[in-house]
Each structure stands twice: as structure tokens, then as C-alpha cells.
């Protein structure tokens, strides 16, 4: 575990009393043992906060921010801690503001296809509440059962459905939030069209709590598809699979899921599960197509034809729910296998243009050989969002040095291919020092200026997302 620098001394009794007056004594933690679990996320980083607060209302968040602004106390908003980049780790000390108790659905309006929710609501709870109304919210991260809507917005986290239905930015109409100066703001609209003023909604989404703390969100809902078809395509190698991805995305029918696993991933599934894949399979695609029932078969056949590129081995169509589960079991077996082999792996989520996926895979194979680091690739092939896993051991300094050099060169490769360093995991601390490779100085200065405008004293999640620069 990467434990960050020591924090400042405990909060004063007067300040603790003032915080308790806002949220209640039972919603303030100051004992180090109680605060400890709130000092981490799903990275290996950890730092002990000076206090942990639990808010339940917008007004409480507003008053907490005002108090922290007055005393220049760092304030880090947190959901369930499922992020992987250290973005909610309080490495500057200060207060962790947990929003997990702000988990109410404030409104579901089927007629206008919107829902208004608090940030602590889990993605899964939202989907379950929407389903009886015939709707869903498109973002579907793998951690949907535990991750919060607020976290999805903070990282712009999407998941497999993004290939067809896009990310939180395209599926959120408006926000209610509190800036770093304690000012209450509303952004966006309650309608699907609106161009009055600047688009602050999209600006706040993906900002990792560095500009304002979101307290409510107006979400754009999508009707549930009438029917869905699932099939698995296997290929001789990853290059054939990548050609298939390009062919699929070049034809009119957009799948609602287009996931891939490379040869190294498949080997792990073979070795750490009871699944049976032919030895000739070097890559596979998991594909789903949805839409009206009366045209689904034609849509599925169009995608299947596009998937039949040179190097295809087999296309296996699921004809029942049991067969759907069987096909997805291959993909679901990967995470446990990775945990068995490399529980402390480096996991990145780079993105390249779909047509450059073959070049990325070739480059990663070369980097793996050069640095003697095993690399396992899987992810959301339909939008070029590749999860690159470097299997390493933090307890081996020499191996970690090779892994970090390999990671640095991986980022250079991604940028050379016209890609970006993160698709949905965010930046946090893990990628902060690489950001200036992607964003030029003039744009970074503008971003720092925007951050200062929202957060004049720099109390909101300090040290995250942007490299040091003009404040």
C-alpha cells in the first residue's frame, strides 16, 4: 500500500463542535481508527484524514464547504471509494466528506425522461428503480453494484454500454452543486435542448471534485430496449479481432456492447477457471445488439457479417439466458484470475481511435518484451477504451522500476496514436504527473485559472488531477 505523507494535527475542538452543529455529532468521525477506512480508494494509496463527515442534504454540504473555506481546510468529497486513481485519498490532510448517505431518488419523471437524484445513490439502485418505468441510465461501470452516481459523474465513468449510449456527460442534463467558496450553483437544464450560457454541467462532470461538490443531478433517461442478442466471436489473434472491431464500427448497426480480451487474458481464463476455449483462440469479442424485437435478427446478422474477418475462428450465438450467462462467464472469469496472479497489478484505461487498436496492441507486445513485463489487455473495444494491465509486484523494486518505465512508454505510445491517457478511471494522483504530456501549457494555464475561479483557496481535493502550475 502506498501511504502518503503525514497529515496535519487533529482539528480543534471548536472546529469539531462547529462541524457537529451542521451534520450532528453522530455524523462526525475524528478518532483515527474510525477515520482510517475513509483514507483510501481502490488504488494502493492511503492517507489518514483529520475527520470524516457524513452529509445528507445540500444545505449541509454548503455549510461544510463554507466552514472549510473560512479555515482553509482541505475538503475531499467521497462516494464508495471504488475509484482506482487515488482521487479521494486525503494526501494533503483535511476532511473527507462522505456523500454515501445522500442516496435518495428525488424524482422520476417518465413523461420527460428524467430522474433527479442525490450523488450517493448507487448505480445499481438507480437502474432497479428505473426498470419498472421502462427506462435506464446508460452509464454501467463494472462496479455498478457499489459505485455511486456521484462517483460516475466525478470520473465520467461509463462502461460497456458507452459504445452505443455514450458517457455520463451525454446523459446528464443539469446539476446542483457547491463551489469551493461555498456558493450554491445550478447548471444545465431540465430539457434535452438548451444553449443559454456556458456548459458548466459538462465541465463539472469528470472534474473529480476539484471545482465543486455535486449535490443533485438531473439525469437523462433512455427507454429499455425491447430485445437483445448476445454472441461471442473468437479469433486467431488480437490483430484479427481488432480488424473485426473496425469493421463492426464502420457499418450502420452500433452494438450496445463490444468487449474484447487478448491472448494473455484468455490464457488466464484457461488456467484459472473451468472454462473450455480451444487452444487456437488468441482473442475474443463479446458482442451485444439491442433494439426493437421485429428487426433484431437483421441487426444481429449485419454485425455478425462484419465480424467475419480473416482470422475468425467461430461465432457463438446465445439462444437462452443460460447461454448468455455462459458466454459472459469467460469475461467475468478474468478479474478473479488477475487477482490470483497479480493482486497488485498496475491497471490503466487508455483510449485510442478504434482504427489504431491494432497499432496499440502491437506496440504493447513490443513493450512487454522490451521490459520483461507481462501485459494483459481487455476492455471496451467499440470506443477504443483499452484496460492495460501491467502484472508486477510492488514489493520488488527492480521489477517496479521496469513496470514504471513500461507504463511511461505506454502513455507515449497512446499519445502517438492520437489517443488519451484515461477513458473512465480519471486522473487523480496516479496519472497527474503525465497530464502535461497530453495537454499543452496554454491549455493547462486556462484549466488552473478555471479551477481558481471555482475554488479560490484551493480547498477542494487539492493536488489532484492537474500537475503543479500557475494557480
Dihedral sign (CA 174, 175, 176, 179): negative
CATH T-level fold of 342-416: Alpha-Beta Plaits (3.30.70)
For the domain spanning 2-98, the CATH number is 3.30.43.10
Residues, the chain, total? 471
For the domain spanning 227-333, the CATH number is 3.30.70.2190
Report pLDDT for 471: 44
Could you give the angle at which helices 334-341 and 321-332 cross, rounded to 10 degrees?
20
* Whether the Cβ atoms of residue 129 and residue 161 lie closer than 8 Å to each other: no
* Whether the Cβ atoms of residue 349 and residue 427 lie closer than 8 Å to each other: no
Tens of pLDDT along 140-189? 998 899 999 999 999 999 989 999 999 999 999 999 999 999 999 999 99
**Residues of the chain predicted below pLDDT 50:** 4-7, 471
Q: Which CATH class is domain 105-223?
A: alpha beta
Tell me the three state secondary structure of residue 284.
strand
237 phi, psi to nearest 5 deg: -155, 175
Q: What's the number of CA atoms in the CB half-sphere (13 Å) around residue 326?
A: 12
378 phi, psi to nearest 5 deg: -155, 175
Report pLDDT for 14: 94
Question: Where in the chain are the domains?
Answer: 2-98, 105-223, 227-333, 342-416
The pairs formed by 399-403 with CB atoms below 8 angstroms and a separation of 24 or more are: 399/373, 402/371, 402/372, 402/373, 403/346, 403/371, 403/373
Report pLDDT for 232: 95
2-98 against 227-333: fold identical: no
Q: Cell 504527473, residue?
A: 433
Amino acid at each position: 500500500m502506498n501511504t502518503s505523507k503525514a497529515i496535519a494535527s487533529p482539528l480543534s475542538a471548536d472546529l469539531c463542535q462547529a462541524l457537529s452543529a451542521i451534520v450532528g455529532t453522530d455524523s462526525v468521525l475524528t478518532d483515527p481508527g474510525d477515520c482510517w477506512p475513509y483514507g483510501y480508494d481502490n488504488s494502493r494509496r492511503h492517507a489518514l484524514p483529520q475527520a470524516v463527515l457524513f452529509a445528507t442534504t445540500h444545505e449541509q454540504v454548503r455549510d461544510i464547504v463554507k466552514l472549510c473555506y473560512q479555515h482553509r481546510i482541505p475538503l475531499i468529497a467521497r462516494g464508495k471509494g471504488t475509484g482506482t486513481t487515488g482521487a479521494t485519498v486525503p494526501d494533503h490532510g483535511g476532511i473527507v466528506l462522505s456523500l454515501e448517505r445522500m442516496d435518495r431518488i428525488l424524482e422520476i419523471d417518465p413523461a420527460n425522461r428524467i430522474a433527479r437524484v442525490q450523488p450517493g445513490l448507487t448505480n445499481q439502485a438507480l437502474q432497479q428503480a428505473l426498470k419498472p418505468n421502462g427506462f435506464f441510465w446508460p452509464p454501467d461501470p463494472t462496479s455498478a453494484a457499489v459505485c455511486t452516481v456521484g462517483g460516475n459523474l466525478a470520473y465520467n465513468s461509463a462502461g460497456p454500454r458507452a459504445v452505443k449510449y455514450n458517457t455520463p456527460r451525454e446523459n446528464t442534463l443539469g446539476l446542483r452543486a457547491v463551489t469551493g467558496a461555498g456558493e450554491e450553483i445550478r447548471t444545465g437544464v431540465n430539457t434535452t435542448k438548451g444553449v443559454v450560457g456556458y456548459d458548466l454541467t459538462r465541465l463539472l462532470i469528470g472534474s473529480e471534485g476539484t471545482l465543486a461538490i455535486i449535490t443533485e443531478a438531473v439525469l437523462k433517461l433512455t427507454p429499455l430496449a425491447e430485445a437483445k442478442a448476445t454472441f461471442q466471436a473468437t479469433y486467431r489473434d488480437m490483430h484479427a479481432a481488432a480488424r473485426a472491431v473496425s469493421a463492426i464500427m464502420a457499418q450502420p448497426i452500433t452494438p450496445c456492447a463490444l468487449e474484447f480480451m487478448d491472448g494473455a487474458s484468455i490464457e488466464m481464463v484457461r488456467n484459472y477457471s473451468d472454462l473450455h476455449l480451444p487452444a487456437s483462440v488468441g482473442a475474443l469479442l463479446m458482442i451485444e445488439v439491442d433494439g426493437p424485437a421485429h428487426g433484431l435478427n437483421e441487426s444481429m446478422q449485419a454485425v455478425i457479417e462484419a465480424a467475419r474477418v480473416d482470422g475468425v475462428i467461430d461465432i457463438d450465438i446465445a439462444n437462452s439466458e443460460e447461454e448468455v450467462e455462459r458466454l459472459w462467464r469467460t469475461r467475468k472469469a478474468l478479474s478473479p484470475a488477475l487477482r490470483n496472479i497479480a493482486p497488485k497489478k498496475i491497471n490503466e484505461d487508455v483510449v485510442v481511435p478504434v482504427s489504431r487498436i491494432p497499432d496499440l496492441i502491437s506496440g504493447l507486445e513490443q513493450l512487454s518484451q522490451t521490459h520483461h513485463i507481462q501485459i494483459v489487455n481487455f476492455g471496451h473495444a467499440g470506443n477504443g477504451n483499452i484496460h492495460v494491465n501491467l502484472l508486477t509486484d510492488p514489493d520488488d523494486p527492480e521489477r517496479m522500476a521496469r513496470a514504471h518505465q513500461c507504463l511511461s512508454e505506454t502513455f507515449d505510445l497512446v499519445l502517438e496514436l492520437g489517443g488519451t491517457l484515461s477513458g473512465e478511471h480519471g486522473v487523480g494522483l496516479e496519472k497527474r504527473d503525465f497530464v502535461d504530456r497530453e495537454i499543452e501549457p496554454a491549455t493547462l494555464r486556462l484549466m488552473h485559472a478555471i479551477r481558481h475561479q471555482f475554488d479560490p483557496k484551493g480547498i477542494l481535493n487539492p493536488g489532484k488531477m492537474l500537475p503543479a502550475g500557475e494557480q
